[in-house]
């Protein structure tokens, strides 16, 4: 497996984790990977739930500002992969 394949697989797994955390926090899955969290029903308490769930799944602390700065599924997954 090449480094690029490993990165893609890692990002794909993170994308799935982010989607799940968003779905749980929002109470629906009516969003795309490019939708803005706060434009599909997200709010600050939901953001806290997202980073808590992701932090537990990844075994590390994720500051809530990470979601505020990366408010799409793709953006958040890429940032989490880069910070790993």
Give residue 10's pLDDT band: very low, low, confident or very high (50, 70, 90). low
- CB-count burial class (<10 Å; 0-12, 13-18, 19+) for 70: middle
pLDDT tens digits along 42-67: 999 999 999 999 999 999 999 999 99
Give residue 8's pLDDT band: very low, low, confident or very high (50, 70, 90). very low
pTM equals 0.86
* Mean pLDDT of all residues belonging to the chain: 90
> Is the separation of the CB atoms in 47 and 12 below 8 Å?
no
Residue 4 has pLDDT above 90, yes or no: no
């Amino acid at each position: 497996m090449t480094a690029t394949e490993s990165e893609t697989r890692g990002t794909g797994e993170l994308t799935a984790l982010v989607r799940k955390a968003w779905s749980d926090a929002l109470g629906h899955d009516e969003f795309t990977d490019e939708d803005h969290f706060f434009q599909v029903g997200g709010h600050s308490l939901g953001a806290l739930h997202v980073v808590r769930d992701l932090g537990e799944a990844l075994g590390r602390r994720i500051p809530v500002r990470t979601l505020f700065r990366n408010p799409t599924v793709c953006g958040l997954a890429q940032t989490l992969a880069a910070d790993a």
